[in-house]
């Protein structure tokens, strides 16, 4: 891809580059070699954060599931907090937060998400680990694929696909368990009595996991994933990425004898180990590739070889474009991108913390009836009708009072005394109507601003106000 | 999934006619797979669902599925959800239903469609009526009474106003005096002469000694309007009041008489429908 680092003297050179640029559109299966190393360990560590996903549904908080996206009940439980549809604006902040985190991290250290955390990478890695354990190393796997069908091949393939399906099923059930009671769901699946929609979700997840992690693998990163495209364009000359140090490596060549042309040759012995271990089948020595998920496994591979041939490690290492050209990187927090991203990040975090801390216990919405806008009563006064929608988000019934204040005129509530002490049922929204009346002479304008207030009696600290309007005849 | 057809040289079939060679150039694999999935899907669909048009409708299909069946199932599902409420509505009296906030909401929502079909054409979608023609339901002015049982009675049996035409009974000046009196009454400016004329013409026989109408005076005709309030049944300007007094209401042989007939819905609607309608109307703004 970015051969631009070598000077392209003419147009022909550019075309020559693309000519040998190899595109894998899934025609070949990548059997990557698995080998130990620093980044391999790091990868296991970061992958293990996904264990939380599998444990999550079984955690309890008080009397309910700690994380429960109760869609029929229109409520999200996140540990102590209950999020109602009215609070969903926080979701947009959360999405901004996640996007900005992704952008910021990418600007500093490339596709960290892709290489270490992405479910596609993680599940593919688990699937290939299973494959490796059953079918053997990369060479054996390639041989097995080519071999004629035999009892042994059938046994290995069946075992592998069964385990893949098992992981897929577990993934599907776990995902579904976030949306309903986890234990009940297991019971439903095991006794074949789960609701229809649960089976659909499970089927989709099994198919998705099995196909994406088992068969499509790096093809997803190449051609399907929008994040990959976004992230690829977010790196700049400051971003540190796994890079082949061509100053040191070139001209590459096999080590034949120590005496001959060792002096004129670079450190790269062209062992192709870096290509062999790459889960997306990229040759890092071609420069940064769109297929590179920056997982660092080629660094592990190269370091082990450099050790063997007695040369210093780090022929492939995390390196920025600038460093490659001998420029020192500016400190992280002096880079404009990082400053911008951090600012947005902090704003979003502040917003979410504020939102979570101030979820109102009672949500009030008032609809002024528009047909008729107002009614003249037999004593000549003007009456307006309002529908009150008060949601009590708390776990207990709340006694509250409902009062009205107007900017002018003698606007008052019909059956005022009754609304001095009403009960809002726990976790419910039962709409009711109220009528406001005023004598037309007291109204200064056609429209009068009114403010309705719900004041807690059970919990005096609850005060919610809502501004509406009282409509009278034309003045 | 190789989408690059010509990545390799097309294979030669070995067939050749006059120097023209036949090559094989297969379609892309993804296309072939989609194609095969496509026709297999068609066959499965063909077998499972109604697919062959016959003389008496289509064949049944292995699943026995039809749109109307699916619709009926959905309706039944909806009815099942409503059933417990509907049962309660049937069993309880209207005033008991109104005491229960949740049931009352259910009744009001359930009455929406019935109201729209049967009432809204005259009384307006929000009970705002039509000035001078059809009574307002959203105010607190009731000709026959605004308590829930009277409203049920009104819907069930209908109402028909009856006010005699006075054009032939009274002198023109007497009618003028009465008109001034009726217009002055709500303003609290009624003259002695007006009250005297009111009595002389026998108006209090229906409208009551205090002119407050039938609904507030038990011993008088219940449909007579309250003349002292601020609401006008047929319009409050001089012209309209004159017409009402001259030609009356629902007088068969008077050409310019007012028409005020509320049809009876007792046979058209069920008792439950009338009950929820009454609850909705009662809640519109002036129920007593």
B182-227: pLDDT as tens digits:
999 988 888 898 999 999 888 888 888 888 887 666 655 678 888 9
pLDDT digits (tens, 9 = 90+) for A20-50: 566 677 677 888 899 999 999 999 999 999 9
Using alpha carbons, list the distances in angstroms from residue A442 to A411, B112, B172, B188, B241: 9, 35, 39, 19, 28
The answer as to whether A104 is a domain residue is no
Provide the shortest C-alpha distance from residue B29 to chain A (in Å). 10
Residue A4 has pLDDT above 50, yes or no: no
- With bands split at pLDDT 50, 70 and 90, how would you rate the model's confidence at B181? very high
Give tens-digit pLDDT for A388-438. 988 888 888 889 999 999 888 889 998 888 888 888 888 878 888 899 999
Alpha-carbon distance B180 to B178, whole Å?
A: 5
Reported as half-sphere exposure (CB side, CA atoms, 13 A), residue A254 has a value of 1
Cβ separation of A378 and B229 shorter than 8 Å? yes
**Chain B, nearest residue to A428 by Cα:** B102
In angstroms, the CA A100 to CA A346 distance is 10
State yes or no: pLDDT of A314 exceeds 60: yes
Q: Are A296 and A46 in contact (CB under 8 A)?
A: no
Burial B134-144 (b: 16+ CB within 10 A, else e): bbbbbbbbbbe
Please indicate, yes or no, whether residues A367 and A426 belong to a single structural domain of this protein.
yes
A73, A172: one domain: yes
Q: For residue A24, what is the nearest residue in chain B, using CA coordinates?
A: B2
- Flag whether residue A372 sits within 8 Å of chain B, measured between CB atoms: yes
Going by C-beta distance under 8 Å and a sequence separation of 6 or more, which residues neighbour residue A382?
A: A374, A375, A376, A437, A438, A439, A440, A443, A472, A473
Tokens of A429: 């929204």
A421 with A442, same domain: the answer is: yes
N- to C-terminal Cα separation, chain B: 76
Indicate the pLDDT class of residue B27, thresholds 50, 70 and 90.
confident
Q: B249: which DSSP letter? A: B
Nearest Cα to Cα of residue B158 among B15, B264, B3, B234: B264
From the CA of B184, how many Å to the nearest CA of chain A?
A: 14
C-alpha A364: how far from chain center = 32
- CA–CA dist A261, A268 (Å, integer): 13
Tell me: do A398 and A452 sit in the same domain. Answer: yes
- Check if A147 contacts B (Cβ < 8 Å): no
Residues of B in Cβ contact (< 8 Å) with A433: 283
In a domain, A223, yes or no: yes
Nearest CA in chain B to A375: B139
The predicted structure's pLDDT at residue A21:
62
- Fill in the DSSP letter of residue A286: G
Under a CB-based contact definition with an 8 Å cutoff, are residues B137 and B129 in contact?
A: yes
* CB atoms A378 and B141 under 8 Å: yes
Does A379 touch chain B if contact means CB atoms closer than 8 Å?
yes
Lowest mean pLDDT among A13-17, A77-81, A332-336, B68-72: A13-17
Q: How many inter-chain contacts (A to B, CB under 8 Å) are there?
A: 61
For A308-333, what is the mean pLDDT?
A: 87
Q: Where are the alpha helices (DSSP H) in A178-308?
A: 182-190, 196-211, 218-219, 226-232, 246-249, 273-277, 297-308
- The yes-or-no verdict on residue B150 having pLDDT over 50 is yes
Residue-by-residue DSSP string for B48-61: HS---EETTEE---
Q: How many angstroms separate the CA atoms of B118 and B136, rounded?
A: 15
Annotated binding site of B: 119, 122-123, 163, 203, 206-207, 262
pLDDT score of A114 more than 80:
yes
Question: Which residues on chain B are in Cβ contact (under 8 Å) with A25?
Answer: 1-4
Q: CA nearest B286 in A: which residue?
A: A377
Task: Please state the domain count of chain A.
Answer: 3
Question: What's the confidence (pLDDT) of residue B266?
Answer: 92
* A215-224, B31-40, B71-80: least confident range: A215-224
Bigger pLDDT: A184 vs A232: A184
Nearest to A376 among B4, B126, B230 (CB): B230
Q: Is A25 on the interface with B (CB under 8 A)?
A: yes
Binned at pLDDT 50, 70 and 90, residue A80 comes out as confident
Residues A58 and A200 in one domain: yes
Q: What is the pLDDT of residue A336?
A: 87
Q: Inspect the interface and report whether the beta carbons of B138 and A385 lie closer than 8 Å.
A: yes
What rounded mean pLDDT belongs to chain B? 88
Q: What is the pLDDT of residue A452?
A: 92
Domain region containing A402: 362-471
Examine the domain organization and report whether A183 and A302 are in the same domain. no
Same domain? For A247 and A227 the reply is no
The verdict on a CB contact (< 8 Å) between B124 and A431 is no
ipTM: 0.76
Let me know whether A228 and A370 are in one domain. no
Contacts of B1 in chain A (CB under 8 A): 25-27
The answer to whether the CB of B239 falls within 8 A of the CB of B55 is no
Shortest CA distance to B102 belongs to which of A153, A424, A126?
Answer: A424
Question: Is residue A355 assigned to a domain?
Answer: no
Residue B9 is predicted with a pLDDT of 65
User: Which CB contacts under 8 angstroms, 24+ apart, belong to A64-73?
Assistant: A65/A181, A65/A182, A67/A178, A68/A178, A68/A179, A68/A180, A68/A181, A69/A178, A69/A179, A70/A179, A70/A180, A71/A179
Contact A376 B128 (CB under 8 A): no
A296, A377: one domain: no
Residue B284 has pLDDT above 70, yes or no: yes
State residue B2's pLDDT score. Answer: 44
Question: Is A432–B230 a contact, with Cβ atoms under 8 angstroms apart?
Answer: no
Q: With contacts defined as CB-CB under 8 Å, which chain A residues touch B231?
A: 376-378
Q: For position A258, what pLDDT does the model report?
A: 57
Residues A146 and A274 in one domain: no
B124/A372 CB distance under 8 A: yes
Coil vs helix vs strand at A398: strand
**Cβ-nearest to A385 among B1, B101, B285:** B285
A247 belongs to a structural domain = yes
Per-residue pLDDT averaged across A263-289, rounded? Answer: 85
Range of lowest pLDDT (A17-26, A360-369, B104-113): A17-26
Among A336-340, B155-159, B203-207, which range has the highest average pLDDT?
B155-159
- The pLDDT value recorded for residue B220 is 58
Residue where a domain stops, chosen among A187, A207, A233: A233
Interface probe for A, chosen from B8, B135, B230 (most Cβ of A below 10 Å), is B230
**According to CATH, what is the number of the domain B160-262?**
1.10.760.10
Integer angstrom CA distances of residue A452 from A61, A400, A404: 36, 12, 4
Asked whether residue A8 carries a pLDDT value surpassing 90, the answer given is no
Q: Does any CB of chain B come closer than 8 Å to the CB of residue A431?
A: yes
Whole-number average pLDDT of chain A: 87
**Is 60 exceeded by the pLDDT of residue B5?**
no
Q: Are strands A64-65 and A67-70 parallel, antiparallel or unpaired?
A: unpaired
pLDDT(B264) > 80: yes
Based on the domain organization, do A76 and A201 belong to the same domain? yes
Q: Do B1 and A371 touch (CB under 8 A)?
A: no
Domain termination residue (choose one: A212, A233, A254):
A233
**Look-up of token digits 């069920």:** B270
- pLDDT tens-digit readout, A140-178: 999 998 888 999 999 999 999 999 999 999 999 999 999
Contact B102 A378 (CB under 8 A): no
Q: Where are the domains of chain B?
A: 28-49+57-64, 81-158+267-282, 160-262
Q: What is the CA angle A397-A398-A400, rounded to 5? A: 150
Cross-strand pairs, A318: A242
* B81-158+267-282 is classed CATH 1.10.1660.10: no
Q: Any alpha helices (H) in A421-464, and if so which ranges? A: none
pLDDT at A201 over 90: yes
Which residue in B126, B138, B231 is closest to A378 by CB distance?
Answer: B231
Contacting residues of B for A372, CB less than 8 Å apart: 124, 126-128, 138
For A102-106, A129-133, A249-253, B167-171, which range has the lowest pLDDT when averaged over its residues?
Answer: A249-253
The enclosing domain of A408 has a CATH number of 2.60.40.10
Q: Is the pLDDT of residue A226 over 60?
A: yes
Nearest residue in chain A measured CA to CA from B231 = A378
The mean per-residue pLDDT over the stretch B19-28 comes to 84
Q: Which of B138, B143, B212, B287 to mutate to test the interface with A (most CBs of A within 10 A)?
A: B138
Q: Which of A27, A378, A383 sits opposite B226 (nearest CB)?
A: A378
In this complex, the residue of A376, A432, A435 whose CB is nearest that of residue B101 is: A432
Domain stop point among A233, A258, A280: A233
The Cα A462–Cα B76 span in angstroms is 42
Six-digit token pair at A115? Answer: 């290489």
Same domain, A410 and A296: no
């Amino acid at each position: 891809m970015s051969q631009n680092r070598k000077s392209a003297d003419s147009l022909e050179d550019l075309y020559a580059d693309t000519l040998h640029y190899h595109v894998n559109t899934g025609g070949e299966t990548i059997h990557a070699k698995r080998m130990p190393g620093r980044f391999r360990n790091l990868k296991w560590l970061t992958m293990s954060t996904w264990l939380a996903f599998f444990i999550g549904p079984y955690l309890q908080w008080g009397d309910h599931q700690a994380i429960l996206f109760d869609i029929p009940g229109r409520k999200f439980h996140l540990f102590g907090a209950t999020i109602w549809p009215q609070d969903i604006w926080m979701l947009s902040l959360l999405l901004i937060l996640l996007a900005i985190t992704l952008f910021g991290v990418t600007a500093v250290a490339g596709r960290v998400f892709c290489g270490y955390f992405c479910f596609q990478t993680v599940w593919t890695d688990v699937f290939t680990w299973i494959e490796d354990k059953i079918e053997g190393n990369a060479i054996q796997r390639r041989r097995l694929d080519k071999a004629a069908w035999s009892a042994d091949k059938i046994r290995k393939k069946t075992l592998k696909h069964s385990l893949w399906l098992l992981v897929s099923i577990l993934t599907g059930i776990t995902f579904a368990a976030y949306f309903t009671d986890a234990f009940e769901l297991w019971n439903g699946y095991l006794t074949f009595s789960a609701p229809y929609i649960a089976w659909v979700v499970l089927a989709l997840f099994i198919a998705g996991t099995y196909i994406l992690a088992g068969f499509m693998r790096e093809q997803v990163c190449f051609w399907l994933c929008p994040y990959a495209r976004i992230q690829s364009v977010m790196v700049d000359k400051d971003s540190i990425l796994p890079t082949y140090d061509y100053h040191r490596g070139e001209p590459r060549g096999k080590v034949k004898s120590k005496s001959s042309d060792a002096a004129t040759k670079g450190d790269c012995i062209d062992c192709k180990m870096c290509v062999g271990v790459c889960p997306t089948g990229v040759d890092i020595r071609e420069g940064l590739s769109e297929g590179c998920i920056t997982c660092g496994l080629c660094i592990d591979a190269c370091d082990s070889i450099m050790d063997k041939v007695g040369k210093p490690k780090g022929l492939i290492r995390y390196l920025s474009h600038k460093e490659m050209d001998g420029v020192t990187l500016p400190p992280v927090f002096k880079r404009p991108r990082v400053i911008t991203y951090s600012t947005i990040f902090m704003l979003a975090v502040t917003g979410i913390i504020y939102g979570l801390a101030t979820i109102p216990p009672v949500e009030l919405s008032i609809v002024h009836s528009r047909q008729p806008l107002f009614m003249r009563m037999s004593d000549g006064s003007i009456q307006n009708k309002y529908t009150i929608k008060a949601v009590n988000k708390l776990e207990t019934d709340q006694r509250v009072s409902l009062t009205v204040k107007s900017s002018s005129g003698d606007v008052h509530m019909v059956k005022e005394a009754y609304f001095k002490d009403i009960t809002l049922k726990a976790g419910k929204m039962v709409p009711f109507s109220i009528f406001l009346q005023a004598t037309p002479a007291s109204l200064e304008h056609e429209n009068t601003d009114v403010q309705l207030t719900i004041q807690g009696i059970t919990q005096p600290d609850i005060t919610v106000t809502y501004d509406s309007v009282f409509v009278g005849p034309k003045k | 999934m190789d989408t690059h057809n010509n990545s390799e040289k097309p294979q030669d079939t070995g067939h050749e006619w006059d120097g023209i060679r036949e090559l094989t150039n297969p379609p892309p694999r993804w296309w072939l797979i989609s194609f095969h999935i496509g026709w297999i899907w068609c066959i499965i669909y063909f077998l499972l669902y109604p697919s062959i048009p016959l003389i008496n409708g289509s064949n049944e299909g292995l699943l026995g599925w039809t749109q109307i069946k699916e619709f009926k199932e959905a309706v039944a599902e909806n009815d099942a959800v409503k059933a417990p409420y509907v049962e309660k509505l049937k069993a309880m009296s209207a005033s008991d239903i109104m005491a229960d906030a949740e049931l009352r909401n259910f009744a009001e929502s359930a009455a929406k469609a019935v109201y729209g079909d049967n009432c809204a054409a005259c009384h307006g979608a929000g009970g705002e009526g039509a000035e001078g023609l059809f009574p307002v339901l959203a105010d607190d002015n009731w000709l026959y009474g605004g308590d829930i049982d009277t409203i049920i009675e009104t819907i069930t049996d209908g109402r028909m106003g009856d006010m005699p035409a006075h054009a032939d009974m009274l002198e023109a000046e007497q009618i003028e005096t009465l008109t001034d009196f009726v217009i002055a009454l709500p303003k609290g400016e009624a003259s002695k002469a007006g009250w005297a004329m009111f009595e002389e013409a026998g108006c209090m026989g229906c409208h009551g000694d205090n002119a407050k109408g039938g609904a507030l005076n038990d011993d008088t005709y219940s449909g007579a309007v309250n003349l002292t309030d601020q609401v006008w049944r047929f319009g409050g300007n001089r012209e309209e009041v004159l017409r009402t007094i001259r030609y009356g209401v629902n007088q068969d042989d008077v050409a310019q008489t007012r028409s005020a007939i509320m049809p009876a819905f007792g046979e058209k609607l069920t008792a439950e429908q009338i009950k929820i309608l009454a609850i909705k109307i009662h809640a519109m703004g002036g129920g007593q």
